[in-house]
Amino acid sequence: MNDCIVIEPDCHEDKRGFFYESFHCQRYKQQAGIHNEFVQDNLSRSSKNVLRGLHYQKNRPQGKLVRVVRGEIFDVAVDLRLDSSTYGQWESQLLSESNKKQFWIPPGFAHGFVVMSDIADVEYKCTDYYDPSDEGLLIWNDPSIDINWPIQNPLISEKDLKAPLFSALKL
């Protein structure tokens, strides 16, 4: 999809474990074209089948660099940028502690994920501060977006269950 990027860090593994740089500002600028400044790091822990999202910030959109440090998630970005050729389209990535992939989601996308493992710890760097008064929601199973979620009956918060359809968003 337009502007979403998968980053696969150079991981050094041996019988003792592994090492990789989870972020390197200069390299991410040069190799991935990520020129945004990160101002906030978040960590969430969720149980199997928990679906979080789809969330976005209305007036101060956040870019997110997402990775999983424990477990596995199906991560989703929906393009909400009105001037984009991929407006209303989605992209997904399977992120896990074993594949060590990172998913760059630029500002202007709704973001959500569902946990595929027994538990998942998800870390993400954000390009702007979270503001609860600026939060927007998009219903996870909107038929016009038609995300191919890998589970049928996720565990969802009351807030996320009441999220509006894509057609009702005021962007």
Selection from 96, 127, 100 nearest residue 34 by Cα: 127
| Interacting residues of 73 by C-beta distance below 8 A, sequence separation 6+ | 94, 95, 96, 113, 114, 115, 116, 117, 120, 122
Q: Which of 28, 55, 56, 111 is catalytic?
A: 55
Tokens for 44?
A: 């969430």
Percentage helix, strand, coil for the chain under 3-state DSSP, each rounded to 5:
10, 40, 50
Q: Which of 87, 111, 124, 130 is catalytic?
A: 124
The length of the chain in residues reads: 171
| 129 flagged as catalytic | no
| 35 flagged as catalytic | no
Q: Name the residues annotated as catalytic.
A: 55, 124
